[in-house]
Chain A
Amino acid sequence: MPDDGLQLEAEVALGAFTLDVRLSASAGETVVLVGPSGAGKSTCLDVIAGLLRPRSGRVACRGEVWCETARGVHVPPEKRHVGLVFQDYALFPHLTVLANVAYGPSSRGRSSEDAGRIARQWIERLGLGGTEGRAVGALSGGQRQRVALARAVAAEPLVLLLDEPFGSLDVATRSAVRSELRAFLSGCNLPTLLVTHDAVDALALGDRIAVLEAGRLSQVGTRDELLSQPRTPFVAELAGLNLYRAELAPGRGLKEARVGAVSFHVLADDAQGPSFVAFTPAEVSLSEQQLPSSARNAFSGRVVSVLPLPDRLRVVVDVGVLMAAEVTREAAGSLGLDPGRPLWASVKATAIRVYA
């Protein structure tokens, strides 16, 4: 196991079931912990932060042991150097933006000038310049999220934990904040654990995705791993969303979005540069030959796997990227879908959503 990363092993009694996880994240890696609500995701973060003592387990980060029940070790939260961004942010309502962000450094023994200077740097870096003296209650949702992030990183954490970081944002803000956060995480070289129940967040931000269901990790892996061999229906549903990091061409209207070697035609008026394209498996149609059609996107590829869902089949096709399609049993029968079979997959440009 990497010494520079975060390791978590924990068993916690959680009402109806027992949380039992074993998870690690290396420096610079973002692991997304995803699962239905009540699966124990936030509990994992509480154990890492030291806010909850596991029945048994071990937490270590960069060679420091924070918790080891077998040896009776339990380092209190203030000595762990964890940057925890709470769901709904938990900003201190009686303090200004500056005082919120400076709280960490001054708690860690910095002089008030030093703490103020560090806080100002982070406030500036996260695009909050000018809000220093404002009350946190007067900020917008997106700004509050950034203050929470600034407050967490200003305390110089060894690990970053984010609990539903977009939970209380509206859809428009959500997409902008998500791409900001992604850029930020890729630059900060900390092991990061992000909790979400949202498939788009998980696929867009996770280097690896850990799926937690009823206290157990049902699967951990990259999106492609989850998509090609989902072990539970929840994983299949989650990974089935076709979501790719893309490079958008400039210009207006119909344009190209490059995803590795593959190029999609999408409708995206103003967006350009790095972004995400997404479409559901139901929006992909499969055919034996390239058909004359209104669909702007047609790719030739091969069947990777076929997964039966209750009323239809999930077909994963390799067209240069892995793409999930859903077809009826009847259609599958007439196409003869077996792994390795060559076929065409097409998607209408209007069915592809583009996220900044």
Chain B
Amino acid sequence: MREGGRQEVLPRSVWLASIPLALYICVPLLALLFVVPPTDLARHLASPMAVRALWLTLKTTAIATLLVVVLGTPLAFMLARGSFRGRGLLDTLMDLPITVPPVVAGVALLLAFGRRGLIGRQLDVYGVQIAFTSVAVVMAQLFIASPFFVKAASAGFEAVDARLEAAARTLGASRWRVFWTISVPLARPALLSGVVLAWARALSEFGATMMFAGNFPGRTQTLTLAVMSALESDLETAVAVSVLSLALAVTALLGAKWLAGQWRAPLA
């Protein structure tokens, strides 16, 4: 055996040791696919409950993702390029929705925007109620998912060479034009992968939605909540909706991977 070859061939023990976790991750996901026969799967997915949940989920996550991008892009750019007091604090605060348990986030949203909440109380005067409506579903998703976009986008903006932006300005481009013609195109792969990540997180939202929006079919019952409800009465529908969620998650993951690949290729 060559001297140098020894590092490349991993010992059998490492192979064996890595099997349990890999299996542990794969087996349940496969179980989801094989427990219910495909024909039954299609029938269950056509049930009014599943269709309504899917439609509501697609609608709310689309709106939430759009809001994440519109509101998150300026914030991400400021975190990447700004130099101001409290930048570090703001950066850390943006991590909080990722680490705080979603249920707690839901309670917090309720305390702020619920009927007797800090802001909700004022809105209630004008007859506006947010909690337990479709709007609350979007807000819960926005709260939980936006940091995923903001983090990715600000890393993307930060990776853009600031000298390119400076060069563009010396050539006569306003800050606005520099942003759209230099910063955004160069950060685009990171921005897109941030969009996919945020959308995926919004899809899987459960805890905060449950607390802040409740579980009303057609109004606030998203796919994840539908799974929970179905589990109490009809296991097969629960599985079918789960499979649907899994399919959406796989789509998001592959999308993010592909965009990340696009992103790194020019840097390699």
Q: Which residues of A contact B (CB under 8 A)?
A: 49-51, 76-84, 86, 90, 92-94, 103-104, 107-108, 137, 151-152, 155
Interface string of B229-250 (1 = CB under 8 A from A): 0000000000000000000000
Q: Which residues on B sit within 8 Å (CB–CB) of A92?
A: 164, 167-168, 182
A-B contact pairs, 9 of them (CB 8 A): A77-B166, A78-B169, A90-B167, A92-B164, A93-B186, A93-B266, A103-B173, A107-B172, A107-B177
**Are B171 and A151 interface neighbours, CB within 8 A?**
yes
Contact B172 A155 (CB under 8 A): yes
Given the interface contacts A77-B166, A78-B169, does A94 sit within 8 Å of B177 by beta carbon?
Answer: no
Would A82 and B170 be within 8 Å (CB), given that A90-B161, A107-B177 are in contact?
yes
- From residue B150, how far is it (CB to closest CB) to chain A in Å? 23
10 closest A-B pairs by beta carbon, nearest first, are A104-B171, A107-B172, A107-B173, A77-B169, A108-B172, A90-B167, A90-B163, A84-B170, A155-B171, A78-B169
- Inter-chain contacts of A77 with B (CB < 8 A): 166, 169-170
Closest residue of chain A to B185 (Cβ to Cβ) is: A94
Report the minimum CB–CB distance from A78 to chain B (whole Å): 5
A104 partner residues in chain B, CB cutoff 8 A? 171-172
Q: A90-B161, A94-B185 given as contacts; is B170 within 8 A of A103 (CB)?
A: no
Q: B residues near A, CB below 8 A?
A: 161, 163-164, 166-174, 177, 181-182, 185-186, 266
Q: Which residues of A contact B171 (CB under 8 A)?
A: 78, 103-104, 107-108, 151-152, 155
Judge whether A94 and B186 touch: CB under 8 Å: yes
Q: How far is the CA of A84 from the CA of B169 in the complex (A)?
A: 10
Q: A93-B186, A104-B171, A108-B172 given. 7 additional CB < 8 A pairs?
A: A78-B172, A90-B167, A92-B164, A94-B186, A107-B171, A151-B171, A155-B171
- A80 and B171 CA atoms in complex are apart in Å by 9
Residues of A within 8 Å of B173, CB to CB, are 78, 103, 107
Closest-by-CB residue of B relative to A148 is B167
**A86-B163, A90-B163, A107-B177 are known contacts. Are A80 and B170 too (CB-CB below 8 A)?**
yes
B174 A51 Cβ-Cβ under 8 A: no
CB distance from B87 to the nearest CB of A (A): 20
State in angstroms the CA–CA spacing of A42 and B190 once bound together.
31
**Shortest distance from the beta carbon of A86 to any chain B beta carbon, whole Å:** 6
Complex Cα gap A104–B182 (Å)? 13
Among A50, A79, A93, A107, the residue within 8 A (CB) of B168 is A107
CA distance A326 to B199 in the complex (A): 73
List the A side residues contacting B168 at CB < 8 Å.
92, 103, 107
Is B177 in contact with A90, judged by CB distance below 8 angstroms? no
CB distance from A52 to the nearest CB of B (A): 10
A78 and B166 contact, Cβ closer than 8 Å, known pairs A92-B182, A93-B186, A94-B185: no
A90 touches B172 (CB 8 A): no
Closest to B163 in A: A90
- Residue among B167, B168, B173 with most chain A CB within 10 A: B167
B125 to chain A, nearest CB (A): 45
Residues on the A chain within 8 Å of B185, using CB: 94
Interfacial chain B residues near A51, Cβ < 8 Å: 166, 169-170
Please give, as numbers and ranges, the residues of chain A lying within 8 Å of B177 by CB-CB distance. 107
What is the bound-complex CA distance between A167 and B220, given in angstroms? 62
A84 and B167 contact, CB distance less than 8 A: yes
Q: What residues on B are CB-neighbors of A86 within 8 Å? A: 163, 166-167
CA distance A79 to B177 in the complex (A): 13
Residues of A within 8 A of B161 (CB): 90
> Residue on A with the closest CB to B188?
A94
Interface-central residue, A76, A78, A84, A108, by most chain B CB under 10 Å: A78
Asked if residues B164 and A90 are in contact (CB atoms below 8 Å), the reply is yes
Separation of A49 and B169 alpha carbons in the complex (Å):
9
| Closest B residue by C-beta to A85 | B167
Q: How far is the CA of A76 from the CA of B163 in the complex (A)?
A: 16
Shortest distance from the beta carbon of A269 to any chain B beta carbon, whole Å: 40
Given contacts A86-B163, A92-B164, contact A49 B186 (CB under 8 A): no
User: Which residue of chain A has the shortest Cβ distance to B161 in the bound complex?
Assistant: A90
State A83–B170 Cα separation when bound (angstroms). 7
Q: A82: shortest Cβ distance to chain B, in Å? A: 5
Chain B residues contacting A137 (CB-CB under 8 Å) are 266
Residues of A contacting B166 in the complex (Cβ-Cβ under 8 angstroms): 49, 51, 77, 86, 90
Shortest beta-carbon distance, A159 to chain B, in Å?
Answer: 11
Residues of B within 8 Å of A76, CB to CB, are 169
Q: Within 8 Å CB of A152, what residues of B?
A: 170-171
Task: Chain B residues near A93: list those with CB within 8 A.
Answer: 164, 186, 266
Q: Which residues of B contact A94 (CB under 8 A)?
A: 185-186
Per the bound structure, the CA–CA distance linking A226 and B36 in Å amounts to 89
Q: Which residues of B contact A49 (CB under 8 A)?
A: 166, 170
